[in-house]
């Protein structure tokens, strides 16, 4: 049975979109499970809620997308705080 997180990741992947989430724990586990099972996703970006302003987060997302294209994000888990 799919979890709602898994359904979100599958939908984003079908649409060829990386998923940005504050749900760090569940999506880290889901990423690991996908990799272990040989399944693929279009990328997961995790961020800690309320740690940074919306403006800082958006600038970080822009830095990330300027550095990593869709192909590079395939099956990748990125922590947004690396891009601040």
- Reply yes or no on whether the pLDDT at 71 is more than 90: yes
Tokens linked to 70: 């869709």
Q: Could you tell me if 44 and 78 are in contact, meaning their C-beta atoms sit under 8 angstroms apart? A: yes
pTM, two decimals, is 0.91
Residue 24 maps to a domain: yes
Residue 26 maps to a domain: yes
The total of structural domains in the chain comes to 1
Residues, the chain, total? Answer: 84
- Give which of 4, 40, 43 is closest to 20, Cα–Cα: 43
CA distance 55 to 61: 10
pLDDT, one tens digit per residue, over 25-37 is: 999 999 999 999 9
Residue 20 maps to a domain: yes
pLDDT, one tens digit per residue, over 37-62 is: 999 999 999 998 777 788 999 999 99
Structural domain span for residue 72: 4-79
Mean pLDDT of 10-16: 96
What angle, rounded to 10 degrees, do the helices at 24-36 and 4-14 form?
A: 70
- Reply yes or no on whether the pLDDT at 84 is more than 90: no
Coil/strand/helix, residue 19: strand
Residue 84 maps to a domain: no
Q: Could you tell me if 42 and 16 are in contact, meaning their C-beta atoms sit under 8 angstroms apart? A: yes
């Amino acid at each position: 049975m799919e979890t709602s997180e898994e359904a979100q990741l599958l939908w984003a992947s079908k649409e060829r979109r990386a998923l940005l989430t504050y749900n760090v724990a569940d999506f880290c586990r889901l990423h690991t499970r996908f990799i272990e099972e040989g399944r693929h996703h279009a990328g997961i970006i995790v961020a800690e809620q309320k740690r940074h302003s919306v403006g800082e987060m958006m600038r970080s997302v822009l830095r990330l997308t300027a550095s990593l294209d869709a192909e590079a994000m395939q099956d990748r888990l990125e922590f947004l705080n690396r891009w601040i």
